[in-house]
Chains A and B, each alone.
Chain A
């Protein structure tokens, strides 16, 4: 190290420290490098790769995707599963969360609801195959109580996948909603009650506007989860037909056709659809609920 640099070094170090950069800040570097290398770089690499198809021009993969109904139909198929599942989960979560927040011993219920999230979709698929199958308990109840004449088909079709998304998605949506609902200051609702608002009015005029930002995030997250359904669509659905979701198409391109360029293109389309829906949801939130009511505790 030269003398001139030595004289400058302390001043530089001081300047950096004043901006918040010192030895401690460097501790963040390994984590950042890791995420850059294994998350950001693969994404950019995949994006570039998708424009370098095995044959044809730069857009050949995308043209192939949007001209083959076997491929582009997967978007509609996935939306047809993901949107009802998300709406059902969110619409059921809000009243349940409103009720559970008043409970004193929430932990038992929340602990039970965390079980399906922890077990994961593969186990839920295997469990539902047994439980909803033609010899399973659900059909036994339906037949023995005379609700239906013969067992109804709930697995290896659309309904199996939808039900699996409710079993794994409802607890997720509910716990997120609960964490937002409990974040609303009860004093605000008390004030509404004292001013004579009935419970329905209190919900629509006070709670819901306060909950809306959180609810938009919850809806976005549960939609994204439902849209990327994979194991249960294969195991519990009809992966060749009605539940051929977009992740199956991407997986088959990558690991069955070994066309990584096409697989990357499908993955990018999948990400694009998710981004479009999430942005639309967050924009809708901005349109519907404005004003200072975004944070209950201020």
Chain B
């Protein structure tokens, strides 16, 4: 009977070592990018021989970072706002009404979240190119809305179900129509949920590579696509300036992740809404 706790403790130690190993490598990977982006020369030593910020100035000019950042803000902003406008009312209908075909609609919303973007992205990009929508900002926004609209719907349904229907009934009794019900009753009540859903959309869209990559033209590249092309053409420019760009990308993403984590549980980013 004395043996068991030892075995269990050993087992739990093994697991913590495993988790520690993973986290150390993760931090190592991120730190390597950051250190390299500030290093002058880094060949046979543990750390670079000197530090400089000139790679950032180089990256800023060479990769047209101001333009790319502007495009990223515009595209991501449009996706966040549009997915909210389309997704929240749809979630309201899904939460409050039982209509024929509801299960089919639910499946329709689940599919774009389950099928990986590169699989549906290629036929989607083909259609968008033939409609002359791809290769521009509009194409990037439309493509990115495909996974984000269902995402907002699925996140918002449980939030809406939590609201007492009598609140809405009271508003109706006092003569509020659907639009006023939304603007004056539901949106204020749902604000935490909407904020959480849209922040998650924001984080996911900044990092959405495949769909943006397949639909972006030369003037509609977001940060992550520009980073891909920079790494793809590595050797043309110093590796440190690519890493400087990677750091700019990481900061942009992680700031929003930090804000999002104040409102949502990390598991929600992966597990979506539970049904």
Q: Which A residues fall within an 8 A CB radius of B?
A: 19-28, 30-32, 34-36, 38-43, 45-46, 49, 92, 95-96, 99-100, 107, 109-131, 135-138, 140, 167, 170-172, 175-176, 178-179, 198-199, 221, 224-225, 227-228, 230-231, 234-235, 247, 250-251, 254-255, 260, 263-264, 266-267, 270-271, 274
Residues in B neighbouring A129, C-beta threshold 8 A: 231, 234
**Nearest CB on A from B122, distance (A):** 4
**Nearest CB on B from A246, distance (A):** 9
Distance A35 CA – B149 CA, assembled complex (angstroms): 8
B93 touches A130 (CB 8 A): no
Of B29, B43, B94, B274, which is within 8 A of A124 by CB?
B29
B126 touches A45 (CB 8 A): yes
Of B33, B109, B203, which is within 8 A of A127 by CB?
B33
Flag whether B176 is at the interface (Cβ < 8 A).
no
Residues in A neighbouring B26, C-beta threshold 8 A: 112, 115-116, 167
- Tell me whether chain B's interface is mostly helix, strand or loop, or mixed: helix
Flag whether B44 is at the interface (Cβ < 8 A).
yes
A126 touches B246 (CB 8 A): yes
A38 touches B142 (CB 8 A): yes
Chain B stretch 108-159: residues in CB contact (< 8 A) with chain A: 108-109, 111-112, 114-120, 122-127, 142-143, 145-146, 149-150, 153
Give 6 A-B contacts (CB < 8 Å), ordered by A residue: A24-B92, A31-B86, A46-B123, A176-B271, A263-B126, A271-B115
B270 touches A122 (CB 8 A): no
Distance A31 CA – B156 CA, assembled complex (angstroms): 14
Number of B residues with CB within 8 Å of any CB on chain A:
91
Distance A230 CA – B231 CA, assembled complex (angstroms): 14
- Given contact pairs A128-B29, A225-B116, A42 touches B127 in the complex (Cβ within 8 A): yes
B124 touches A130 (CB 8 A): no
A39 touches B124 (CB 8 A): yes
Residues in B neighbouring A35, C-beta threshold 8 A: 108-109, 111-112, 146, 149-150
A115 touches B254 (CB 8 A): yes
A264 touches B105 (CB 8 A): no
Flag whether B185 is at the interface (Cβ < 8 A).
no
Chain B 86-102 near chain A by CB (<8 Å), digits 1 or 0:
11011011101111101
Distance A255 CA – B265 CA, assembled complex (angstroms): 39
Chain B 1-38 near chain A by CB (<8 Å), digits 1 or 0:
00010001001100110110011011011101100100
A118 touches B257 (CB 8 A): yes
